[in-house]
Amino acid sequence: MKTQRILVAGGGGFIGGELARVLLGRGHQVVVADIKPKNKWYQYHDKAENLQLNLEEKDACFKAAEGCDTIYNLACNMGGMGFIENNRALCMLSILINTHMLMAARQHGTKQYLYSSSACVYAAGKQTSTKVTALKEEDAYPAMPEDGYGWEKLFSERMTKHFQEDFGMNVRIVRFHNVYGPYGTWDGGREKAPAALCRKVIEAVASGKMEVNIWGDGEQTRSFMYIDDCITGLDKLMASDFSEPINLGRSELVSINRLLEMVEEIAGVKVRRTHNLSAPQGVRGRNSDNSLILEKLGWEPEIDLKTGLAKTYVWIKEQFERRARGETVIQ
C-alpha cells in the first residue's frame, strides 16, 4: 500500500490504538481522534497527529477527516455486557459519530471507509442456547439485535451501505466478535470477560481470598478473538473488494466457566466460584460462522484462545502490580 493519510477514529481505545501503531510502523501519516483526554488513551503515539475531539459533533468529524485517504471508524461508546446493558441511550448516541463521519468522508472525498460493527447486531432469538449454531452474516435479519448498542450498530451498517449505493463511496463493514488482548480495558466496568476474569484471578491471589465471582451460571458461551488476528483481518478486508457486512471473530466456542479454568491454568492456581445470577449476561450463546470470511478473504482468525489469553494475563498482571505500587496505569 502506498503511503496514505489515515484517520483512526476512536484511536485512543483498544483496537484503534493498536491499529494506529501498526499503520505508523508502515510509514503512513496517521490521524488519531478520540474523545478521551490523551493521558487516558490506551496507546499514545507521538508520531501521529493526535486530536482530542468529541466525534458525536459534526464539526469535529469534518476536522478529523480533512485530507484523509482512508477512515477507520472505530469510535463508539461501548464496553462489556455490564456497560451496554446499563447504558443503552449512551450507546445509541454513537449513531451521531457514524452519521457525521460518513458526511465528512463524502465531503472530503475519502477513498476508503471502514465501519466497525459488532456481533451484537445478531437476532436474539438465534442465540438462546449455549450450544448456539454459529452465526452467519444473514442471521442479523429479521432484525432483533442487542437492545441499544446492537440497534445502533445495525442501523449504522445500513447507513454506511446506503452511502455507498447513493454516493459511490468505497466502504467496508466488519462485525467484531469479542476482541481481547494487551492494552485493552481490564478494570472499571467496561472490560470484557477475558480481561475481567484475568483481573479477578489476579485480585483473588493478591488478596489471599482465592474466590472469583462469575456473572450468571457461567455456562453462557462466546468466542473471543486476539487483537493480532483482528488487525490482520482488517488488513485483508481493506485489501479486498468485499463491501457487505462480514464476521471478524474466532470460531472457538467456550463457556465462561471454561474461560475461568483456562485463566486458572495460566496462573497456576485454583479459585472458589460464586455466581451472581442477577448480573447482566447477554445472550445465552454466540459464535462466529467464518464461512464467508474464508470464502472472500481466504483466511480466518488463527490464534487459539489459550495462547492469546496467556499473553493478556501477563500484561494485566503487570498493570495490576504497577497500580499497586502507586504508578499511573490505563485501565
The catalytic site residues sit at: 149
Strand, coil or helix: 195: helix
Cell of 257: 466457566
- Report which DSSP code applies to 78: -
CA distances from 64 to 9, 156, 229, 263 (A): 8, 19, 27, 40
- Give residue 270's region: left, alpha or beta (phi > 0; psi -120 to 50): beta
Q: Give buried/exposed letters for 224-262 (b at 16+ CB in 10 A, else e).
A: bbbbbbbbbbbbbbbeeebbebbbbbbbbbbbbbebbbb
Verify cis geometry, omega within 30 degrees of 0, for the bond prior to 142: yes
Q: Is the CB of residue 9 less than 8 Å from the CB of residue 224? A: no
Strand, coil or helix: 164: helix
> 214 has which bridge partners?
275
CA 277/CA 133 separation, integer angstroms: 24
DSSP secondary structure, 274-324, as one string: EEETTS----SB--B--HHHHHHHS------HHHHHHHHHHHHHHHHHHHH
Strand, coil or helix: 101: helix
Strand, coil or helix: 174: strand
CA-based R_g, the chain, Å:
19
CA 265/CA 37 separation, integer angstroms: 37
Q: Is the CB of residue 113 less than 8 Å from the CB of residue 102? A: yes
